[in-house]
């Protein structure tokens, strides 16, 4: 079993409205040192087996569904599932 952890975040140039609202909430809670918050999405994809095309497939899944390439970027890690 392979576990693929995918992290989708907004591109740096895209307004992160949620991140900004959360940041200002944390600041008002008294944590003045906090400079920035970015919010993203996290996915866990499990594959039955490792296979030659795994990377290619994960990229395709991210490009076509999990991330919107116009505003988002993603990275992923592949690991053994326990």
| Residues at the contact surface with another protein, assessed by CB under 8 A | 10-15, 17-18, 20-22, 25, 28-29, 39, 63, 68-71, 73
Nearer to another protein, 5 or 11 (CB): 11
Shortest separation between residue 80's beta carbon and another protein, angstroms: 27
Shortest separation between residue 51's beta carbon and another protein, angstroms: 22
Buried b (16+ CB within 10 A) or exposed e, 62-78: beeebbeeeebbbebee
- The strand pairing partners of 73, in sequence order, are 9
């Amino acid at each position: 079993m392979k576990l693929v952890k995918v992290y989708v975040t907004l591109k740096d140039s895209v307004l992160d409205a949620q991140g900004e609202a959360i940041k200002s909430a944390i600041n008002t809670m008294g944590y003045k040192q906090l400079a920035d918050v970015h919010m993203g999405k996290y996915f866990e994809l499990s594959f039955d087996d490792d296979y030659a095309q795994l990377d290619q497939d994960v990229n395709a899944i991210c490009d076509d569904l999990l991330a919107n390439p116009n505003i988002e970027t993603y990275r992923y890690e592949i690991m053994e599932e326990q």
